[in-house]
Structure 1
C-alpha cells in the first residue's frame, strides 16, 4: 500500500512539473548591460505561467537582481527592494499570477534598460496556488520561490534544453523513489 501511495505521489509531482518551463532571462546574452538586450521585448515573446522558472545569469562582480514594487520599477528606486539576489546564477520560480518586477541595482544599470517586467498569466482552468508571504529580504540563493507583485509567444528553444536536463534529473529521482518503494513493499 505504501508503495502505491509513493508511486501515485511521484506521478502527481511529475505531471505538475511537466507543465513548467525554464526561461533564461535575455537568452544567450543573459542579464547584462553590455549586449543592449531589450528585456521588455524579450519578455513580450514569452508566455509565463505559475510554476515557470526564470534564470538570471550574470557576472556578480558587475550586476545583481532586485525584485521590486511597480513604483520602484518605474523610477529605478533601489532603496527598499523586496528581494536581492547576488549569486550570478539566480533561479526564481514564479508562484502566482500578476506582474513580477526586477532590475539590476548597480547605479545606472536600471536606467540603461536592465529591468524586467514579467506578467504571469492566471491559469485558465485551475485554482491559483496559495500566495506565501513576501519577505522583506532574501539571502543569496541559487533557487528561490517568489510570489508576484505574459504576453503570448513561443518558448525559447534553449528553455526546452534547460527543461530537458531538469526533467531527466526529476525522472531519475522518481524512478529511484518508486524502485525503493517497490523494494520495501516486496520485502
Structure 2
C-alpha cells in the first residue's frame, strides 16, 4: 500500500514539474492600460502631449496589447500623415465600444487618434513605437575539418560537443527526461 502511495505521489510530482516547466516555452507579452488610471480622454490644455509622454515611458514589444478605456469616444489606428492631420476616412482599425484592446503585432510605429471631432486636435492622440525583437545569437562557426575531411569539435579529440550552446537546451533536456519517465510509467 505504501509503495502504491509513493508511486502515485511520484507521478503527481512529475506531472506538476512538467506542467510548471511550460513557462520556458511561453511567449511573454504585456497588456498596457493606455493613460494608466486616466484612460483614453481629451487631456487638459496644459498637458496636450500626455499620451505621447505616457507611450515614451513604456517599452512595447511585439504581441503586447494596449487597452483603451473610454466613454462616448473612439480609437482609430491611422497612417502617419493622418495622425498629423487628425483625420482619417479609411482608418487601419476603428473601435467605439468603450473598451478596446489592440495587439501590437509587429515592430513599427503605431499611430492612434480619437475619432471624435476636435479630440485629436486637443491632444487625444498617441504614437507607439514597438521595438524589434532582440536578435538571437548567431550560431558558432563550424569546427575545422580534420586531416581525413571530417569535422571534429576542437579541443575534444572527437568527443561529443558540450550541451548549452542555446539557453533553451537545458530546460528542454530536463523536460524531455521528465516526459520519458512519466510516459514510461503510464504506457
Same fold by TM-score greater than 0.5: yes
1:11 corresponds to = 22
**Structure 1 unaligned spans of 5+:** 127-181
Structure number having the greater strand percentage: 1
- Distance in 1 (CA, whole Å) between partners of 2:123 and 2:94 is 18
SS of 2:130's equivalent in the other structure is strand
Q: Once the 2 structures are TM-superposed, how far is the Cα of residue 102 of structure 1 from its aligned partner?
A: 0.8
Please give the alpha-carbon distance, in whole angstroms, between the structure 1 residues aligned to 2:93 and 2:60: 20
- Report the Cα offset of residue 15 of structure 1: 3.9
Q: Structure 2: any 5+ residue segments left out of the alignment? A: 1-14, 137-181
Pairing partner for 1:121 from 115, 124, 131: 131
Using the alignment, how far apart are the partners of 1:25 and 1:101 within structure 2?
Answer: 13
- Residue 73 (structure 1) aligns with: 83
Q: Deviations over 1:55-96 (max 9, x none)?
A: 00001x2x1001100000011122221111111111111110
Q: What aligned pairs does 1:36-185 form with structure 2 within 5 A after superposition?
A: 36=47, 38-59=50-71, 61=72, 63-126=73-136
Matched, 1:22 2:36: no
- The structure number with the bigger radius of gyration is 2
Partners of 1:70 and 1:39 in 2: how far apart? 16
Q: How large is the Cα RMSD of the aligned pairs?
A: 2.9
Structure with more contact order per residue of length (Cα contacts < 8 Å, sep ≥ 6): 1
In the other structure, the counterpart of 1:159 is none
Structure 2 CA distance for aligned equivalents of residues 114 and 120 of structure 1: 20
**What is the CA-CA distance between 1:34 and the residue it aligns to?**
5.3
TM-score (norm 1): 0.57
Paired residues, number: 122
Looking at structure 1, the residues matched to 129 and 43 of structure 2 have their Cα atoms a distance apart, in angstroms, of 25
Give me the whole-angstrom Cα distance separating, in 2, the residues matched to 1:58 and 1:121. Answer: 26
